[in-house]
Amino acid sequence: MELKKSLAFTPHLEDELRESLKRCSPETVEAALSFRQHGNFDGIPVIVMGIIERFLEPDVRHLLREGNDDTRLFEDLGVDSLLMVEIIILVEETLDISIANDELRDIRSVGDIKIYLDYKVKGIPIPKQNKQLTVEEIASVMPHQDPFLFIRESKISLNEAESLYSITGDEFFIDGHFKNNPVFPASILIEALGQLAVLYLIRNEKPEFEQPIDTSKVMFASCDGVRCHRVCRPGDVLKLKVKLKRIRYPLVTFEGTITVGDEKAVFAEDITLTFDYES
């Protein structure tokens, strides 16, 4: 995709960019120059990270470098509303774009702002973020139904989905001798993550999916790199999360995690589904 620039790239513009970014890393400056001169979108994450780091207090910069896309701008990095305005002003100047305040209301993490800017500079419509779905809405679209539906109220954002499930002990598979030692089977935990991946797939608004997904053609393909860290029992509240890793029609792959409180229960490196579009 060719970048549309309002200004031709000139030595004067290069000097202006270098001056604006003089407190950023050399990598940030070079990525910005490459973006403005050649339309190199690959450098956008470097630009975003470099500009954010430039405004952070020195004692928290390591949290940005050592963290990941889940690192929270406000809670983890201490970015307040005034600092956010300064970051956005420099981003606008560097990328030659205009950002409206209402477009920022759902941006909470480093990953959110990377994705937002990637869509913005490419002129791709930005999907709605943080859609909250009730149990009734989930049941109305999912091919899975009770008693074999293990996701409840859920939230879908640009690149991931989250849900909760409370283990009651009344599940149909906890019977017989398991009543004396009730355990939520690891295979069902993986099933729950797979169901959340299905929900993301059929309710997301990413433009990479060309048209609505046919729910009758979504199938589980594989699950690799599974590690279980704790036993889950009645009374535990499972927090499920799947994060989109890659899309290559007809396959879509997620990373999945389940936590109970502060403890990791299950991690799945690759959950892969096959899908097709409505005809």
Kindly list the catalytic residues: 177
Contacts of 136 (CB under 8 A, 6+ apart): none
CA angle, 115 then 134 then 227, to 5°: 60
User: How many Cα atoms within 13 Å fall on the side-chain side of residue 211?
Assistant: 5
How many C-beta neighbours within 10 Å does residue 24 have? Answer: 23
Is the distance from CB of 266 to CB of 257 less than 8 angstroms? yes
**H or E, element range at 199:** helix 186-203
For the chain, the distance separating the N- and C-terminal CA atoms, rounded to the nearest angstrom, is 28
- CA 184 to CA 232: how far, in whole Å? 5
Structural tokens at position 51: 């500009």
Is the distance from CB of 263 to CB of 188 less than 8 angstroms? no
Write b or e for each residue in 30-49: b if 16 or more Cβ atoms lie within 10 A of its Cβ, otherwise e: ebbbbbbbeeeeebbbbbbb
When computed from its CA atoms, the radius of gyration of the chain, rounded to whole angstroms, is 22
